[in-house]
Structure 1
């Protein structure tokens, strides 16, 4: 699955232990030039420097996925520097464990702005170039919560936004398939990252592990490996699909 000289943007990839960094790593290992795009520029710069020191090719860029202007500026900048964008991984996301009666208008809007509108803005921004070159790979991070309605930590607003990502990807996949562009989504279950680690006690962690048929939490690599395949040339006849990555905790 060589990605030599492919230009890949991975949103929300500036966290040290996040899924985004793992995805960026897998793409870079395969030869892609990776744009580490994150609202926290310092984190993105740290990750990009680590990649470059390891012999990979990466650049850091600030990105606020909730701002159409920020997204447009990033895409224009990458087009100027590299002449194209081949791969987009819509990884940036946030969650809140709020129950329905606790959700405010502000929190609802924030969850949808990052998890749903961000996917829309980024996808829409890269598509003209991908259509012109008749090639593109877009992979979205949804969630098991968007399929079964609720999860371990995310509230109903999170589930709704992640379900929206799946419907959006399928609809756009139909529109652009004739141009050699694929849109797919992954729906991770409980993945061991800084976010989940900060939301549960060791006792809760062990209990959740026992409820998963695989008897372990997923790793960022588990998710990244699947995304790397969907972002490759080898996955050219797969589009509008969603891949469950949850150790058997949800099957359909």
Structure 2
């Protein structure tokens, strides 16, 4: 088994925004795909768990973005895991550029879900003793995210079939996109998120109506609290906190300007 997963990536046109920078939602797709590929190398992929009527579900994220990769840039995604208390599979991610500089770091927490009951279960139900040990040490540093109490911005969505994933529910990266979309275009056009803390609370299926709400977080400049909720009694689905910086704080290195 390989304790550390490494994959070379090149930022594709479909993954960038109008500024030729990697979309936040695409970043979370990178994390998910890298984690899934590493799990397959370790013999514990979603397909292998499904054969036992289990699957992986994401609970939490902490992400720090130091610089956004640009269109055509080649980067390296590295990931490793650390099981915790027979309940959580902690996974860390790191994106570095061609010169070895760290661009992005991320921590995540995953659980195994019973595919029928849709409830979390212990790792020992479906993973071997070897699969529940080893890996790199990852601190359990997730902080509580305060709830939205008085939203300043709201946007409605309806769940499409293209929003669903292997687990028959809305994929985690879709929630991220919904949450960011609640902010006004006047802000989004001039700022980029540098820190994201995410907690996924419950799932939702196709055809349901959801509302994305955002509230200014007065504890820090350019910070927001986010909430995704079902509009038909499903309650809170996801909670997130973001911190942003003005676009002019991100100066593209001279050596990359020819790429985009």
Say whether the fold is shared (TM-score over 0.5).
Answer: no
Please identify which structure carries the higher strand content: 2
Q: Give TM-score, length-normalised by structure 1.
A: 0.30
TM-score (norm. length: structure 2): 0.29
Identify the structure with the greater helix proportion: 1
